[in-house]
Amino acid sequence: MKKEERYKKIIEWFSVNMPIAETELHYESPFQLLISVILSAQCTDKRVNMVTPALFQAFPTPEVLAASSQDEVFEYIRTISYPNSKARYLVGMAKMLVETFGGEVPSDIKDLQKLPGVGRKTANVVASVVFNKEAMAVDTHVFRVSNRIGLTTNSKTPLETERTLVKHIPGPLLPKAHHWLILHGRYVCTARKPQCLDCGLKEYCKYFEKQMSKGPLHP
């Protein structure tokens, strides 16, 4: 199957079988989503959602968070991975929002990446989810699934994967496609035990084709 046809079939399947695909992080504003995405680095969305209600209540605005200390923030996120670093990032991020961006989360991806704790992936997530920018955030799920099913070929870096996906997926679909791949990787195409026999994409999947060539798969 040629790459163009694979993309077409996979996009069609997701469009029918996952018409609604959204972040599983809980938020009510761009500021809250930005905090959640920073916290979600190397941490599950489930864990992040457990700590953010109290965190959002304690620090409801960039101004309040900017006036706090790393130690204060740490107490709310101590069960998150790398809490010391993330507490420092959150305070620094809030200070820059207040001092540079008038207390508003910027919509521009380059501006977002200026904020402490915000790399390309985080910036793309915020830009696509909140501002509906045509951006593709590549996390571990997107990177793994894209390579495994054959949307990318031997991509070595998230940036390489991002560029390939952006090239082949229609721009308006990119924000949703990001969640298609994340959710598929989280619940079906898992890292250690992909559920190939139950996967609706197996007909178009290079990994499944390769596994079947070795003999029948068993549940």
Contacts of 13 (CB under 8 A, 6+ apart): 200, 201, 204
Q: How far apart are CA 202 and CA 122, in angstroms?
A: 30
Identify the active-site residue in 95, 121, 133, 202: 121
For residue 125, give Cα distances in angstroms to 78, 83, 152.
24, 21, 20
DSSP assignment of 68-123 equals S-HHHHHHHHTTSSSHHHHHHHHHHHHHHHHHHHTTS----HHHHTTSTT--HHHH
3-state SS of the chain: helix, strand, coil percent to 5?
65, 0, 35
- Residue 121, token pair as written in the block: 């992936």
Q: Which amino acid is at 73?
A: V
Identify the active-site residue in 86, 95, 133, 139: 139
Catalytic residue flag (residue 121): yes
Catalytic residue flag (residue 198): no
Catalytic residues: 121, 139
